[in-house]
Amino acid sequence: MTLLAAIASDSVLDAAFASLCKRRRDYPDHADVWEFRRNWPQQKDRIRAALPSGGYRFGLLDRIALANGEEIDLWSARDALVLKALAMVLAGHLPVSRSCTHVKGHGGAKGVVRQLMAKLSFRRGEIEEHIELTYEEPPPVQKPRRRQRKNRDKRPQGQSQGQTPSQTPNQTGTQTQR
């Protein structure tokens, strides 16, 4: 059986359809997946006829604006189903690198952390010290000193502004006449 015939088989197309339905179950009412699901038997026949003959053509991506303002490009439901079927068949024929940690049995996130820790040259104490230095409080900022104002008043030091030279404050702070 050729790869295109394997992709167009009933079992692969049905598994890809189930995956598509699961992934797009929360899509809005106007999404093309609902029309595709309603007409699945006819769509399946068209895909099965087009794939082995090499006549299947992918459509353009649709740009969709999400509720949070982000924009994404989305395959049509029909193209997404064919891509899923293609991936399912090719997964059995292509080797998978050990560095693909998302694949079951390749270590996952914990395996990546273990690999990183093994490659780092830090010892545990150095890492903890680095973290402490990173999060310790910064030294207090010294405020700049204010320069003392020069006495711009040309009067002798015993007189304040508004006093005449004949008036000087006495010990009690009251004005006396000379």
Torsion (CA) 15, 18, 20, 26 in degrees, nearest 10? -170
Q: What is the pLDDT of residue 120?
A: 73
**159, 169 in Cβ contact below 8 A?**
no
Q: What is the pLDDT of residue 124?
A: 60
- Each residue's pLDDT, cut to its tens digit, for the chain (178 residues) gives 788 889 999 999 999 999 999 999 999 999 999 999 999 999 999 999 999 888 899 999 999 898 899 999 999 999 999 999 999 999 888 888 877 877 778 788 888 888 777 777 656 666 677 677 777 776 677 776 776 666 665 655 555 555 555 555 555 555 555 5
Backbone angles phi, psi at 73, to 5 degrees: -100, 135
Q: In the 8-state DSSP scheme, what is residue 9?
A: S
Q: What is the pLDDT of residue 77?
A: 96
Among 161, 152, 160, smallest CA distance to 169 is for: 160
Q: What is the pLDDT of residue 152?
A: 61
Torsion (CA) 22, 24, 28, 34 in degrees, nearest 10? -80
CA–CA–CA angle 48, 53, 59 (5° rounding): 70
Q: What is the pLDDT of residue 111?
A: 82
Q: What is the pLDDT of residue 61?
A: 94
The DSSP result for 26-41, as a single string, is TS-TTSHHHHHHHTHH
Token look-up 């003959």 returns 53
pTM of whole model > 0.85? Answer: no
Question: Rounded to whole angstroms, how far apart are CA atoms 81 and 10?
Answer: 13
pLDDT tens, 55-81? 899 999 999 898 899 999 999 999 999
Q: What is the pLDDT of residue 15?
A: 96
Q: What is the pLDDT of residue 36?
A: 95
Helix (H) or strand (E) holding 64: strand 62-65
Backbone angles phi, psi at 64, to 5 degrees: -115, 135
- Bridge partners of 177, per DSSP, are 167
**70, 17 in Cβ contact below 8 A?**
no
Q: What is the pLDDT of residue 122?
A: 59
Question: Rounded to whole angstroms, how far apart are CA atoms 35 and 134?
Answer: 56
Q: What is the pLDDT of residue 170?
A: 56
CA-based max dimension of the chain = 126
Domain ranges for the chain: 3-91, 97-135
Q: What is the pLDDT of residue 163?
A: 56
Q: What is the pLDDT of residue 139?
A: 67
Q: What is the pLDDT of residue 66?
A: 87
